Amino acid sequence: MTIENRPIPRFIADASQHGIPHGRFAERLSTVFRDACVGISDLPEGTEPPDEIVWFPERAWSGRVWVPASAAGTAVMEEGGEPVTIEFFGFVSFIQPTGGDPEDFRASADFTDVIAAENPEWTIDLNDEVIGKWEGEQGRIADVTLVWGRSLVRDAYAVSAEIEGMAVDQDPLFEDRFTLVAPDALKGYGDDYYLDIHLWSQRGREVAQESLYDIEEVDSDDVPDGGEAQGGAPDGEPGDTEKR
């Protein structure tokens, strides 16, 4: 047996069992998600909650099922301005007892006016949120991160989450959508490691790749004496929703 010198948690979540929610259950999820949208603290006054919600495949981790969502809306971002298109995004999570009905529904939501329709150079419309922590030996830690998105390129068949070329989660696309649960922002390994998301064709050809972060290199001459280089990924906390 070979000792692993760089133990990184891999494939920690259950694969999607049901794909895209639909029917009465999707309606129940929608009610919970709309309530979360109404509760967004900095939502511009007068913004209506979304009507039609786009759901993503469910994934189960740490005793809960996580179902990401997005929805289009409009908002007046500046006083006296014209309405602009926004996107609500977030997730609903719940507990699924064995042989019972789902319970303990919770939701997180945020919004953005930076949308894929206005960024034709995007290849993946990507979102992420930290939903927990992983702790390893010798002080190694990672953010357990829910990642979801849509392929904006043709021929995408599957998705993988990778750290330094190592796959830590993967799943097929459902229509053009995917959900991943994977460790991110790993610390205590000498270097810090961050997730990359890759889309693959059915023949195994990479058709798109995106990092969760735009990490800027900082020249050491620019760092004050006794200080540390600033830049890269901020530490995520559970409940911090990100929109890429």
User: What's the pLDDT band for 190 if we cut at 50, 70, 90?
Assistant: confident
- pLDDT value for 187: 94
* 54-80: average pLDDT: 94
pLDDT at 238: 44
Residue 4 is assigned to a structural domain of this protein: no
Give the bridge partners for 66, in sequence order. 59, 93
150 part of a folded domain: yes
Q: Is residue 27 part of a domain?
A: yes
Each residue's pLDDT tens digit, 143-172: 999 999 999 999 999 999 999 999 999 999
Mean pLDDT of the residues in the chain: 88
Full residue range of the structural domain in which residue 29 is found: 23-215
> What integer pLDDT is reported at residue 6 of this predicted model?
80
Mean pLDDT of 134-141: 92
What's the whole-model pTM score? 0.85
Does some domain include residue 174?
Answer: yes
Domain contains 64: yes
- The percent of residues above 90 in pLDDT, for the chain, comes to 76
Number of domains the chain contains: 1
Least trusted range by pLDDT, from 38-52, 86-100, 101-115, 210-224: 210-224
> Is 139 among the domain residues?
yes
pLDDT of residue 242: 53
Among left, alpha and beta (phi > 0; psi -120 to 50; other), residue 90 is left
User: Per the domain annotation, does 132 fall within a domain?
Assistant: yes
The backbone torsions φ and ψ at residue 223, rounded to the nearest 5 degrees and listed phi first, read -90, 125
Residue count of the chain: 244
Contacts of 200 (CB under 8 A, 6+ apart): 156, 157, 158, 159, 160, 206, 207
Q: What is the pLDDT of residue 40?
A: 96
Report yes or no on 17 lying in a domain. Answer: no
The percentage of residues in the chain with a pLDDT greater than 70, rounded to a whole number, is 87
pLDDT over 70 (residue 111): yes
